[in-house]
Amino acid sequence: MNDKRKISNLIRTEDWLSVWIGAVIILLGCVAVLTGWFDFSAVSFKTWTLGEVLSEKDAAKTVPLADQLTTWTFWAKTLKTVLTLGLLFGIGVKLQGEKLRNFIPAFLTLFVIALAVRCVSAEFTLKRYLEWAFWALLIGLLIANTVGVPKWLKPAIRTEFFIKTGLVVFGFSVLFSNIAKFGLYGLGIAWGVTPIVILFMWWFGNRVLKITNKPLLITISAATSVCGTSAAIATGAASGAKKEDLSVAISISIIFTILMMVFEPMIIEWTGMGQIMGGALIGGTVDSTGAVVLAGSALGPEAEQVASLVKMIQNVLIGFIAFFVAIFFARKVDKTGKSEVRANEIWNRFPKFILGFIVASIIASVVFVPAVGAEKTSAINKVLGQYKDWAFVLAFTCIGLDTNFKQIAKSMQGGKVLWLYIVGQTFNIILTFAVVWLLLSGKFFPMPDIKTFTDKEDKIKARKEQPVVAVEQPSVENTVDFVETESAVNVK
């Protein structure tokens, strides 16, 4: 029975299914690029304008929207993208026990909304000031808070499923050496800060705000300090939180995630903090993992990787926190003397998509780079990046569609919950910044050397462009340097 249950979990739980779907997308991308048998690139919009007067340089980078929409290539890629994502996520939904006849029309509608998001966000002025994630959230929020979301569309609103899959695909673009180099820094930031923030919020909610709903208090504390929705669900289950409590925690986390995702990168860039410190701060303070990656990408490729690494390390704590919360509530809060969560629940609650992310990184770094070279690996990542973006745009459109401000306002309980989050998140930001500055300012510890596949590709191109100077009789002391230069020039 246990073996059957383990096999069932591997093919029927959202965490594992996101790993398998991400693996299929990575496999298809690798085969397409390495063999050239088919084009696997997803649909995207080139920059277009609403009639703004542009410089020659900017105008050269734009393509009229009408010209894009009237090409066969655009619609062929659109069909390929929706069929690929619809088929893979449809299989995933079916394996989770849902009905395909409900999911398919809902997903097609969601895809059309997401396609409109991509179109709007490609407009020159809108693209220049705000990322597409903001427009995905905005359009979703407008629909949810005006005409409302029909029931038949809700089977496709699977925010976590889309985000987890996108993160597995994203793992292929993260050099594993970065994980190794940044591991101790990430542990210091994520594991050093998170328990302190939870304890502070628990104390503040109990002693200052006098919140009597203890499951709600610990759920919001975990959502704020770890990873929004995932941490809220795990901790809520461990503490016996009601559905209404969980809804409040997730709703308030989503609202501030939207705000921080948009404005935190702007503030970091304005202060000149730099990509590594800025990415670490984003990874430690923005609640949602998907929002962390997108906010980090707004600063640059190094910030994107650092932010995601900090958040991944932080996510590992979800299972441990849920386990200890269950014990604490059983013995101290509810005083039953028994824990409803056993030690193996640490593994059961562990986010499996993190394993997919790490394995994808190892395969790309250890297998593909030595075998096919950094250029080919980078070419694969350009294709995979399009599907990562599509998974995220679907996810953030879902967040917008799933956020109703009227319902959230009713559940604020006199403002205490709001104050708990604001004070707790402020404390989180201050403490995280202090630890980030201590570890990554370069004043006390050496700065980690974060590399991207783009860096490697640029170096190889630069070496190829350098003329090889013929040396008739290289001296013994220069022989090694000469051989290394020749090898570097002939990298393919």
Q: What percent of the chain has pLDDT over 70?
A: 79
Assess whether 468 and 332 both reside in one domain. Answer: no
State pLDDT tens for residues 283-313. Answer: 888 877 777 888 888 888 888 888 888 887 8
Name the residue with tokens 């994520």. 190
Q: Which of 119-133, 154-168, 442-456, 465-479 has the lowest mean pLDDT?
A: 465-479
- Classify residue 313: in a domain, yes or no: yes
Evaluate if residue 16 carries a pLDDT over 70.
Answer: yes
pLDDT at 394 (0 to 100): 92
State pLDDT tens for residues 28-51. Answer: 999 999 999 999 999 999 999 987
Assess whether 113 and 252 both reside in one domain. Answer: yes
Assess whether 128 and 194 both reside in one domain. Answer: yes
Evaluate if residue 462 carries a pLDDT over 80.
Answer: no
Residue 484: give the domain boundaries: 463-489
Calculate the CA 215 to chain-centre distance.
27
Assess whether 438 and 468 both reside in one domain. Answer: no
- Counted domains in the chain: 2
Assess whether 480 and 362 both reside in one domain. Answer: no
- Classify residue 472: in a domain, yes or no: yes
Assess whether 470 and 353 both reside in one domain. Answer: no
Assess whether 257 and 159 both reside in one domain. Answer: yes
Side chain identity, residue 54? L
Burial (0-12, 13-18, 19+ Cβ within 10 Å), 290: buried
Evaluate if residue 318 carries a pLDDT over 80.
Answer: no
Q: Which of 164-178, 342-356, 365-379 has the lowest mean pLDDT?
A: 342-356
Evaluate if residue 352 carries a pLDDT over 90.
Answer: no
Helix axes 14-35, 2-12, angle to 10 degrees: 60
pLDDT at 342 (0 to 100): 59
- Classify residue 89: in a domain, yes or no: yes
Greater model confidence, 182 or 374: 374
Assess whether 469 and 398 both reside in one domain. Answer: no
pLDDT at 489 (0 to 100): 35
Side chain identity, residue 107? F
Assess whether 358 and 470 both reside in one domain. Answer: no
Assess whether 417 and 483 both reside in one domain. Answer: no
pLDDT at 484 (0 to 100): 35
Helix axes 289-299, 301-315, angle to 10 degrees: 160
Q: Which of 310-314, 387-391, 413-417, 426-430 has the lowest mean pLDDT?
A: 413-417
State pLDDT tens for residues 235-269. Answer: 776 777 776 677 777 777 877 887 888 888 889 88
pLDDT at 477 (0 to 100): 41
Rounded to an integer, what distance in angstroms lies between the CA atom of residue 125 and that of residue 69? Answer: 20
Assess whether 324 and 195 both reside in one domain. Answer: yes
- Classify residue 458: in a domain, yes or no: no
Evaluate if residue 424 carries a pLDDT over 80.
Answer: yes
Coil vs helix vs strand at 41: coil
Evaluate if residue 409 carries a pLDDT over 80.
Answer: no
Question: How many CB atoms neighbour CB 334 within 10 A?
Answer: 15
pLDDT at 454 (0 to 100): 52
- Classify residue 457: in a domain, yes or no: no
Assess whether 383 and 260 both reside in one domain. Answer: yes
pTM of the model: 0.73
**Average pLDDT of the chain?**
80
- Classify residue 456: in a domain, yes or no: no
User: Would you give the end-to-end CA distance of the chain in angstroms?
Assistant: 51
Greater model confidence, 5 or 431: 431
Q: Whats the size of the chain, residue-wise?
A: 492
Region 401-430: mean pLDDT is: 80
